[in-house]
Amino acid sequence: MNLTDLRLRVRALFTPAKVERELDDELAFDIECETRKLMAGGLPAAEARRRALARFGPVPLAEDRCREERGISFFETLARDVGYALRTSPSPSSTRSCSRSTRYGIRTSALPIARANHLGDPLRVVLRAHGGGDCETNDAHQQGFAGEELRLPYEETLTKPAMNQSQTATATEITAEARASELSSRTAFGKRNRITQMVTASVAIGRAPSMRRRVRHRNTPIRFRGARTRSASPTPSAAVQCGSG
């Protein structure tokens, strides 16, 4: 490790937001340059941008590889974990995180399984807040966490039936459901700490409850930036653990 390396690592460690913004700007600039070049060659703006993105490849992957070069992944994770542990204020941010995690969870785990196995019925999803407490759960609903319509690339656009406040999903046509668990714990400082970072997404497929086929799927931990994962609930059909970033 030379001095430059050390300086850059320290900078990334203590000004992570700035470093991340710079990374975003740098990659976005590349795509813009390529887009403009293609437009100068006569392509319409939308097509030029599409091709520029295709040429670039997966941006998140490039970002991750750039982050790896910083060599502070361990410290970044540690800093974020400490941040979680110290976070004591309830609701909005945690429920938003819960909502986001749930969306990720459904898209990445439950939906592919449902897609591969459903019987041709309209596919519906219920986001079901679970655990925590009534207040927290209601907060989750108020944040739009439970009533969201999820759009998919093709015919399986999911519609969300109205949820009642008891969070009981009874509609027989529900074929996929996701469950976001809000965990509560106490920090090392004795303060109540809400950790909203576990999502289990379960899929049940069929025309009626008795006909539903539970699709077993091994737990798939998915890490998002700045996330930590926890163990899934005991019996999810298809479970995904998502950290809230």
Partner 1 sequence: VSNNDTMPRHPIPDLLPGTLDLLILRTLQTDAMHGWAISERIQQISHDVLQVNQGSLYPALHRLEHQGWIEAEWRVSELGRRAKYYRLTVSGRRQLAVEAREWERMSAAIDRIMKFA
Residues that bind partner 1 (CB under 8 A): 2-5, 8-9, 22, 25-27, 29-30, 32-34, 36, 55-58, 61-62, 65-66, 68-71
DSSP state of 209: G
Residue 46: CB minimum distance to partner 1, A: 19
Residue 54: CB minimum distance to partner 1, A: 11
**Beta carbon nearer to partner 1, 43 or 152:** 43
Residue 19: how many other CB atoms lie within 10 Å: 18
Q: Are the CB atoms for 240 and 179 separated by under 8 Å?
A: no
* Cα–Cα distance for residue pair 80/25, rounded to 1 Å: 23
CA dihedral 138, 109, 224, 218 (to 10 degrees): 110
Residue 14: CB minimum distance to partner 1, A: 16
Residue 243: CB minimum distance to partner 1, A: 23
SS3 for 9? Answer: helix
Residue 153: CB minimum distance to partner 1, A: 23
Biggest CA–CA distance in the chain, Å, is 66
Residue 224: CB minimum distance to partner 1, A: 20
Task: Write the single-letter amino acid at 73.
Answer: S
**Beta carbon nearer to partner 1, 42 or 57:** 57
Beta strand 174-186 pairing with 238-242: unpaired
**Beta carbon nearer to partner 1, 53 or 152:** 53
Residue 142: CB minimum distance to partner 1, A: 39
Q: Are the CB atoms for 128 and 179 separated by under 8 Å?
A: yes
**Beta carbon nearer to partner 1, 35 or 197:** 35
**Beta carbon nearer to partner 1, 32 or 173:** 32
Strand order across the 213-214 sheet:
124-130, 174-186, 192-205, 213-214
**Beta carbon nearer to partner 1, 72 or 110:** 72
**Beta carbon nearer to partner 1, 70 or 118:** 70
**Residue 177, CA distances (Å) to 67, 106, 111, 151 in order:** 34, 8, 10, 15
Q: Which of 241, 110, 113, 245 is nearest to 180 (CA)?
A: 241
* Cα–Cα distance for residue pair 110/125, rounded to 1 Å: 10
